Chains A and B, each alone.
Chain A
Amino acid sequence: MSVTVKSKRFVDEVIEETPGGHRLRDCIQCGTCGGSCPSGAEMDYTPRKMIALVNAGRREEALSANTMWSCVSCYSCTSRCPHNIPVTDIMYTLKRMAIREGRVKDNDGPALARAFTHYVDKYGRSFEMGLATRYHLLNRPFAAMKMGGMGMAMFLRGRMAFTPSKIRNIGQLQAIINKARELGGAS
């Protein structure tokens, strides 16, 4: 006798990982989110279509889309949704799932997030000059060259530092980070 273990459905995973995410089941496909989105034109699927894909269980199309990486976290969709669906937070969940499952296609979003959090974990502060080198030179050297003039103008006005600032009690922050990772099951 065999027991069939039904794997968790895609929509349930998204809901579980998004506080307030259960409301995405209430989506009426009105399109207010897509119409409000400043990046909608650049997206493979607008937020409305993305919610439909999640509800329909189409994991692969959803997670390999560029939609969430075009999201600028302006919260217009979230603010205007007539059913209070936390659309922006769902985009964050989809970003995390896409990274975890290795489904991101041709997008620098994950590298930027990785470079940014690297400096927070290491110093407790963000480090723009470090980001400029670590992220730009590794991912997009041509763009880094075009940024050069602007970087110099910023430096001359005292708006760019070559060394990071570091918090005093970095050990405490790292202990908190390690514990959170352990509790969240994240790597």
Chain B
Amino acid sequence: MKYAFYPGCSLEVNAAAYDLSVKAVAKTLGLELVEVDDWNCCGATEYFSQDELTACAVIARNLALVDPACGQITAPCAACFLNLKKVDRLMSEHPDLDQKINQALAAGGLKYRPGSVQVRHLLEVIYKDVGEEGVKARVKRPLTGLRVAAYYGCQVVRPFKDFDDPEQPTTMDEILKWLGAEVVDYPVKTHCCSGHMTQISEPEAFEMIRRLLYCAQQREADVIACACPMCQLNMDAYQGRVNGFFNTNFNLPILYFTQLLGVAFGLQPRELGFGKELVAAEPVIAAKVGAA
């Protein structure tokens, strides 16, 4: 199966573990990811705060660059996924906006017909296109005994509700169960990781992060699995600061769900970007799943 692939800026550096594990797992699963040539930043939430039409045009350039033969694009980052999907949807529903965005694209010699590229998060691709049989067939090291909290965050499941439930999503839970993991009940699975708030108000951000870590600790999770670079960054890189702020002792590794797929497929930790997380994950993986 062939997909246009939009990695997004985070995967270049800060979420390199996501990039490595997505590519390794896609190879094992036979998913052909064709990177959009010369893609640009989706603008995250910041561009929309400044200028809506320009934000849309910046995003639409990526859709216009997709090889029409692909017909669908997949993004592993929740914010990239949302922005690509949002602009495609806005253009479909608001002809005046479509016209202006295409006028802007034309200044760069491009055009985009809304609806011509289907935008999908990687979680959906693995859940629906690969499916249970496809995933289970590749499992060499079942994650038996590993207790995982499946964390979806916000923008994978909201505001677009056509792939999973916005309040009680289950697709990542299911995928992890296919790998043999013990998925814990995690009622805050769609609560916010605080997004960019770490940059604006730390007390506000740290409290949101604390709730996620606290709940996982209460449920005795060994690791939290996520599907977004921002979520990983906030829960992993800021975990030490959160501990300092609240005088807590959280020690929860935060992994991308693709890293856990890779472990179960018997891939080597380095291929999957292990060691890049600030809260080390390898000790608990070795203890629960065994050495690679």
Contact with B along A75-117 (1 / 0, CB 8 A): 1101100000010100011011001000000011110111011
Interface of A is mostly: helix
Q: Which of B25-33, B66-74, B155-163, B173-181 contacts A (4 or more CB under 8 A)?
A: B155-163
Q: A19-B93, A107-B200, A110-B49 are in contact. Are A183 and B100 (CB under 8 A)?
A: yes
Are A73 and B195 touching (Cβ within 8 A)? yes
Of B13, B49, B58, the contact of A92 (CB 8 Å cutoff): B49
Across the interface, which residues of A come within 8 angstroms of B195, CB to CB? 72-74
Q: Is B44 an interface residue (CB 8 A)?
A: yes
- State the CA gap A124–B276 with chains docked (Å): 26
Q: Please, which residue of chain A has its CB at the minimum distance from the CB of B43? A: A120
Q: A157-B276, A161-B13, A165-B12 are in contact. Are A74 and B158 (CB under 8 A)?
A: yes
Are A96 and B50 touching (Cβ within 8 A)? yes
Q: Is A176 an interface residue (CB 8 A)?
A: yes
Across the interface, which residues of B come within 8 angstroms of A136, CB to CB? 199
Across the interface, which residues of B come within 8 angstroms of A153, CB to CB? 237, 278
Across the interface, which residues of B come within 8 angstroms of A8, CB to CB? none
Q: How far is the CB of A131 from chain B (nearest CB, A)?
A: 8
- State the CA gap A168–B154 with chains docked (Å): 32
- State the CA gap A154–B15 with chains docked (Å): 10
Q: A126-B41, A179-B104 are in contact. Are A172 and B12 (CB under 8 A)?
A: no
Q: Is B46 an interface residue (CB 8 A)?
A: yes
Q: Is B215 an interface residue (CB 8 A)?
A: no
Are B196 and A176 touching (Cβ within 8 A)? no
Are B194 and A72 touching (Cβ within 8 A)? yes
- State the CA gap A153–B180 with chains docked (Å): 32
Known: A154-B237, A186-B53. 7 other contacts (CB 8 A): A112-B46, A159-B276, A172-B61, A176-B107, A177-B57, A183-B100, A184-B54
Interface residues of A (CB under 8 A from B): 17, 19-20, 38-39, 42, 69-70, 72-76, 78-79, 86, 88, 92-93, 95-96, 99, 107-110, 112-114, 116-117, 119-120, 124-126, 128, 135-136, 143, 146, 150, 153-154, 157-161, 165, 167-169, 172-173, 175-181, 183-184, 186
Interface residues of B (CB under 8 A from A): 9, 12-16, 38-41, 43-54, 56-58, 61, 90, 93-94, 97, 100-101, 103-110, 154-155, 158-159, 161, 166-167, 190-192, 194-197, 199-202, 204, 208, 237-238, 240-241, 275-278
10 contacts between A and B (CB under 8 A): A72-B197, A74-B154, A79-B158, A79-B159, A150-B237, A159-B276, A176-B105, A177-B54, A179-B103, A181-B51
